[in-house]
Structure 1
Amino acid sequence: MTKTSFPKPSELPVPAGAEGWEKLYPYYLVFQDKLKAAEDEKFWFCDSQHWPTVFKPFETIGGEFAVKCLGQYNARHLMIPNANGIEFRVHLGYLYMSPIPVPEEEIAARVPEFQARVGHYFQNWDSMLEAWKTKVRGTIDEMETLRFAPLPDMVPMDDITSGKAKDGTEVLLENYDRLIQLAYQNWQYHFEFLNLGYIAYLDFFNYCKEVFPDIPDQSIATMVQGVDMELFRPDDELKQLARLAVELGLQDRFVRPDEPEATLAAIGAATGGQQWLDRWAQAQDPWFNFTVGNGFYSHDKYWNEHFELPLGYIADYIRRLDEGQTIMRPKEELIVEKDRIVEEYRELLDGDQLAAFDAKRTLAATAYPYVENHNFYIEHWTMGVFWRKIRELSRTLHGYGFWDHEDDLLYLGRNEVRDVLFDLATGWGVGAPDGPIGPHYWPEVIAERTALVNALKTARPAPALNTPPESITEPFTRMLWGITTEQVQSWLGAGEEGEDGVLKGMAASPGIVEGVARVIMDADDLAQIEQDEILVAPVTAPSWGPIFGKIKATVTDIGGMMSHAAIVCREYALPAVTGTGNASTTIVTGQRLRVDGTHGTVTILDGAGAAPVVEGPGAHSHAHGPAETGEPAHV
């Protein structure tokens, strides 16, 4: 019997050892007993697309700043007629969201404000976007200047003679507060153009659905594909470095990329090696400010701090070049396909309809690249600097004995860190023989919190909470997260009969292929992927570009037509099914799959839970038809 509701927050079991987990997070991030009736009435979905692992206390800063700032642009800046922001809570360590609708009676009044504000941006797009880059870069540059050095035994004599009259602890306090504010500042900038990118695409999307009621979602997406994106630039830099290595005959110097110092030394000792190293150094600023994660977690590894990552990708590109493979993204083919689809639909229109179609498509294509490009500037570059500075501060405080491990600051909330800094300032400033209080307090608290976080990690999050609405219409929820009425019903088990071994999701990137599954739950496991496997993951990060040329298709648990996985797969011409809900916990590495990115299904062909085999003339084929080519489906 099909369920009609997801569990309530209070109905989810607490993992063993995680009792009292609520104390990890600020009061405003957890469900409240006094608000239970109201909160149980709302539909919440888990955003495992951006936050796939349990938060350590300090790490909630990314979720808080991101979702708050997303909301402010809907509700306060752009006055989007039918969408306010998104409420969010952390439950059992994972982030849940509930979109806030605009009351029907208020929508009309917002329309003229919305049109004026959005119109100003679209009329001044290029100049305002250039100013945006200047603002963001200025924030990053200021973050780089902040230091968290240990305090001296006594203030320098120069501070006496100059009359400075401060002891230096104010620098620690001011720099910490400034670091937090700068991160907040760039997250506000983050959404200045992102929501506009979605709006432009959604306006074109809705117009296409109006004039072509049967048009596939993928055909609309195809009409803006094949663009230059700065998010792809780090990967392109690695490809160019691989080609240069082959041209210089340096292939044999990349046999141990996991040993960066030895590898770079071996390259430098080879004929032509210095030319390659010069190009390597040139690529690093700014393109190695890039993580294999998504920038929201302190444990995300950045290329400029882990050279084994880019060297490993380069070594794989060298292998593929030596095997005669094409490693560049098929941009020209994508553009040809885009132009063909656009012309097919243009031929069906004339007059005002054609003019509106052209104008809306041009605007969507102009705004579309930002939907991915912002990731490099904010999630990767800004947050890379931010986490590096936080680690520096944590090491300094570790040096004063506040905690047992260098990165234990992450088990404190960001406002607790301010108390720690004043504790240090006091103990050091007054010359107390026992120093600050923190070293006698925090290690025990951190040990307790570490155990709670580890216990929460033993359970996967529920995809959603409470009763879903009859219809999900909020556009960002549908396009970015893939939370549609149909998908939510699929998660609840609707239509399961006769669909054994078939997972349904969003038809995110067209094509049909068969292959062997590789389930990846963490970016650290990407090296396990072998040539021509099918990637199955809770979510993919935009930064996984170097492995997209290696795989045949992608399947994710969450994500819509405008999710990172969908966009990147379309730009690499790979079939993709997103928003399956549970593919990563249903499919096992080594199982054969058929991924139908044209219709949004994933068929398990062998092993546990496989689809039934059809006997008869097509014996040994599965119930859902033979494998087809990976060619896109057209109009």
Structure 2
Amino acid sequence: MDAQTPLFPSAYDMKAPAGAEGWESIYPYYVLFRPEKRAEEDGKFWFCNSQHWPTPFRPFDTIMVDFATKGLGQYNTRHLLVPPANGVDYRILNGYVYFSPIGVAPEDIEARIPQFLERAGHYYMNWDALLANWKTKVMAAIEELDAIQFEPLPEVVDVDWVKEGRGLDNTYDLFNRYDDAIRLCYKIWQYHFEFLNLGYAAYLDFFGFLKGEFPQIPDQAIAKMVQGVDSELFRPDDELKKLAKLAVEKGLSPVFESDHVDVILADLATKPGGKEWLAAWEEAKDPWFNFTSGNGFYSTDKYWIDHLDIPMTYLKDYIKRIEAGDEIMRPTDKLLAERDRITAEYREMMDDEAQAVFDQKLGLSRTVFPYVEDHNFYIEHWALGVFWRKMRQLSKLLMDQGLWDSEDGMFFLSRNEVRDVLWDYSAAWAIGTSLQGATHWPEEIRRRRGIVDALASQSPQPALNNPPEVITEPFTIMLWGITSDSIKRWVGEGSTDGALHGMAGSPGVVEGVARVLRSPDQLGELQKGEILVTPVTAPSWAPVFGKIGAAVTDIGGMMSHAAIVCREYGLPAVTGTGNASSRIKTGMRVRVDGNAGTVTILE
């Protein structure tokens, strides 16, 4: 490819949308494309990671991309020494995050192999014990985070503190609690990646082995060999299904016709069988309603346990579907039968030596693969939900002191600016003067809010600069669906049939009416049998997968949540189309071919 004519524009030539001028001032210097580094930055290929961050960041929310990319990098590069892959560099451009995978020089790969085998091998050989320890560590961090409380500074220090000679005031705890919350969030992100890269690595090793044995084997056939997982990420949805069945069994369905959660719950307490149902509801809430309608990476995410109308809406829909005679459970038995059939067919075509290697690699993949989804519930959903709840508590406390005029004001500050605000608050309290920030932050937050809103008005450029001739970094391919072919699709190359081409994420062919969604707040618009078309799905969208006909996403590979969930629900999926959500409009009739990875607009 001619280096003088890049396939995608340079970050340095991209203009901000109207109203977002000066956007760079609201983000840390280290996430920006800096002019003095243009030669270096233009030499890299960057893709927009809209799978994890589909909307522009508020300044505080960059904490998640900071901690996530650092955690991913350290486990590849410093902990495990994954032979072909270091970390993923990242920048923010017009509010969206761009990733650039950092490969290992070919001449350095061989030296990393024995180190990787020693380190990863220890985890693989002791998986169950180490994973049990991981859960203990994560639960301890959640418990410690949940215990943090932010309280306004008192009028005077408690007299008992004075008499006992404590020698400290309340600001000491205020600073420590904020620092502890950030520290625990950082710790939680470190735990996030302790097992994740190992899960991908084992699957990719199995994937590579089968491609070597059978060069023409479809990617889906390999994925099917590990399907039918009993993931804890499905538990919140499964709990709603159990509650819906119980409501129907107890004859309580009419109670759920109200639009208000409080009215429904109060009415249930007066009905025969209602108290039994309410007990089951309360039991399900902890921990399974620690579940976000987004992905946990934004301060704006809504968690079920804080917004009970979200799970109640899904539950009411399940009740209606049960009464209409629909099957609402995942077809797990069918998936397992298909898994075992495909596994046996390919195994029989191998000689004894290859079968032994196959059995070992498949066994390891099935052991470790559930973590690829399970960790999401404990980290992104439960732990980060507690973190955001504590940060909202602090933001409201500081609003009440007059530092800003909206409960979400703090999220337009960086995490380091928040500490400056805490100093301002503490110093003014200690000295007995007014807050400096009360005349600074309200207007500055309004300015920043306007910038973020303006940034959101423009869709991101899918990629920057020239891609490499061949993309070989395995995580980029499997998780994000970024391949040499997918990049060509983004610019319209290679399509002669008029269809949209993507990854064959989950098998099957379905025709139906498209429903284009860009936010979890729109999920209620989905009608039974429609084709969900969206830039990206989140794990918490699972309750709607039982009613849709198929799913189509702009970004995502074979191991993306959309592909995994669709396979577990037996639905066709085409992922990584690049721009399906822009080219398809709600109401269009489309054909989704999850076998070929194509989406055809029929009318």
Cα shift at 1:227: 1.3
Cα shift at 1:462: 0.7
Work out the CA distance in 1 between the residues paired with 2:63 and 2:278. Answer: 37
Cα shift at 1:155: 1.1
Corresponding position of 2:64: 62
Corresponding position of 1:112: 114
1:254–1:315 CA contact under 8 A, matched in 2 = yes
Corresponding position of 2:510: 513
Letter paired with 1:397: L
Corresponding position of 1:475: 474
Q: Deviations over 1:31-78 (max 9, x none)?
A: 000001110110000000000001000011111111110011000000
Work out the CA distance in 1 between the residues paired with 2:314 and 2:441. Answer: 40
Work out the CA distance in 1 between the residues paired with 2:519 and 2:384. Answer: 19
Work out the CA distance in 1 between the residues paired with 2:222 and 2:460. Answer: 33
Letter paired with 1:76: R
Is residue 286 from structure 1 mapped to residue 291 from structure 2 by the alignment?
A: no
Work out the CA distance in 1 between the residues paired with 2:181 and 2:561. Answer: 28
1:508–1:561 CA contact under 8 A, matched in 2 = yes
Instruction: From 124, 148, 152, give the equivalent of 2:150.
Output: 148
Work out the CA distance in 2 between the residues paired with 1:9 and 1:494. Answer: 22
2:71–2:193 CA contact under 8 A, matched in 1 = yes
Partner SS state of residue 420, structure 1: helix
Work out the CA distance in 2 between the residues paired with 1:542 and 1:222. Answer: 19
Q: After the TM superposition, which residues 188-207 of structure 1 pair with which residues of structure 2 at under 5 Å, given as runs?
A: 188-207=190-209
Cα shift at 1:13: 2.5
2:518–2:535 CA contact under 8 A, matched in 1 = yes
1:260–1:308 CA contact under 8 A, matched in 2 = yes
Work out the CA distance in 2 between the residues paired with 1:295 and 1:268. Answer: 33
Instruction: From 546, 549, 554, give the equivalent of 2:551.
Output: 554
2:480–2:576 CA contact under 8 A, matched in 1 = yes
Work out the CA distance in 1 between the residues paired with 2:6 and 2:250. Answer: 63
Work out the CA distance in 1 between the residues paired with 2:314 and 2:418. Answer: 37
Q: After the TM superposition, which residues 588-627 of structure 1 pair with which residues of structure 2 at under 5 Å, given as runs?
A: 588-606=585-603
Is residue 493 from structure 1 mapped to residue 492 from structure 2 by the alignment?
A: yes
Instruction: From 209, 212, 216, give the equivalent of 1:210.
Output: 212
Work out the CA distance in 2 between the residues paired with 1:450 and 1:226. Answer: 44
Partner SS state of residue 480, structure 1: helix
Q: After the TM superposition, which residues 41-190 of structure 1 pair with which residues of structure 2 at under 5 Å, given as runs?
A: 41-190=43-192
Partner SS state of residue 230, structure 2: coil
Partner SS state of residue 47, structure 2: strand
Partner SS state of residue 440, structure 2: helix
Partner SS state of residue 369, structure 1: helix
Work out the CA distance in 1 between the residues paired with 2:11 and 2:45. Answer: 11
Cα shift at 1:467: 0.5
Q: Deviations over 1:321-377 (max 9, x none)?
A: 001111111101100000000110111112110000011011111111110001001
Work out the CA distance in 2 between the residues paired with 1:548 and 1:484. Answer: 27
Instruction: From 227, 231, 234, give the equivalent of 1:232.
Output: 234
Q: Deviations over 1:470-514 (max 9, x none)?
A: 000000000000000110111122123x333x1110000000000
Corresponding position of 1:390: 391
Work out the CA distance in 2 between the residues paired with 1:53 and 1:499. Answer: 32
Percentage of matched positions with identical amino acids:
58
2:6–2:465 CA contact under 8 A, matched in 1 = no
Work out the CA distance in 2 between the residues paired with 1:428 and 1:66. Answer: 36
Q: Deviations over 1:274-321 (max 9, x none)?
A: 000000000111101001110001111111011111111111000010
2:12–2:35 CA contact under 8 A, matched in 1 = no
Work out the CA distance in 2 between the residues paired with 1:178 and 1:425. Answer: 17
Residues matched between the structures, number = 601
2:48–2:460 CA contact under 8 A, matched in 1 = yes
Work out the CA distance in 1 between the residues paired with 2:240 and 2:70. Answer: 35
Work out the CA distance in 2 between the residues paired with 1:96 and 1:268. Answer: 51
Work out the CA distance in 2 between the residues paired with 1:346 and 1:71. Answer: 35
Work out the CA distance in 2 between the residues paired with 1:468 and 1:492. Answer: 12
Cα shift at 1:406: 1.0
2:12–2:33 CA contact under 8 A, matched in 1 = no
Q: After the TM superposition, which residues 217-366 of structure 1 pair with which residues of structure 2 at under 5 Å, given as runs?
A: 217-256=219-258, 258-366=259-367
Work out the CA distance in 1 between the residues paired with 2:169 and 2:187. Answer: 29
Work out the CA distance in 2 between the residues paired with 1:541 and 1:206. Answer: 28
Work out the CA distance in 1 between the residues paired with 2:283 and 2:256. Answer: 19
Letter paired with 1:499: D
Work out the CA distance in 2 between the residues paired with 1:164 and 1:76. Answer: 43
Corresponding position of 1:610: none
Work out the CA distance in 2 between the residues paired with 1:69 and 1:78. Answer: 12
Q: Deviations over 1:445-474 (max 9, x none)?
A: 111111111111110001100011100000
Work out the CA distance in 2 between the residues paired with 1:199 and 1:268. Answer: 50
Letter paired with 1:472: I
1:4–1:492 CA contact under 8 A, matched in 2 = no
Letter paired with 2:284: A
Q: Deviations over 1:545-595 (max 9, x none)?
A: 100001000000000000011000000000000000011111111100100
Is residue 536 from structure 1 mapped to residue 538 from structure 2 by the alignment?
A: no
Instruction: From 13, 24, 31, give the equivalent of 1:29.
Output: 31
Letter paired with 1:589: T
Corresponding position of 1:618: none
Work out the CA distance in 2 between the residues paired with 1:69 and 1:499. Answer: 42
Work out the CA distance in 1 between the residues paired with 2:208 and 2:140. Answer: 37
Cα shift at 1:11: 2.0
Work out the CA distance in 2 between the residues paired with 1:297 and 1:589. Answer: 27
Q: Deviations over 1:107-126 (max 9, x none)?
A: 11111101100100000000
Structure 1 segments, 4+ long, off by >3 Å, are none
Work out the CA distance in 2 between the residues paired with 1:113 and 1:189. Answer: 21
Work out the CA distance in 1 between the residues paired with 2:425 and 2:14. Answer: 40
Partner SS state of residue 310, structure 2: helix
Letter paired with 2:571: L
Work out the CA distance in 1 between the residues paired with 2:368 and 2:319. Answer: 34
Provide TM-score, normalisation by structure 1: 0.94
Corresponding position of 1:620: none
Cα shift at 1:4: 5.5
Letter paired with 2:457: T
Work out the CA distance in 1 between the residues paired with 2:235 and 2:64. Answer: 24
Corresponding position of 1:466: 465
Partner SS state of residue 594, structure 1: strand
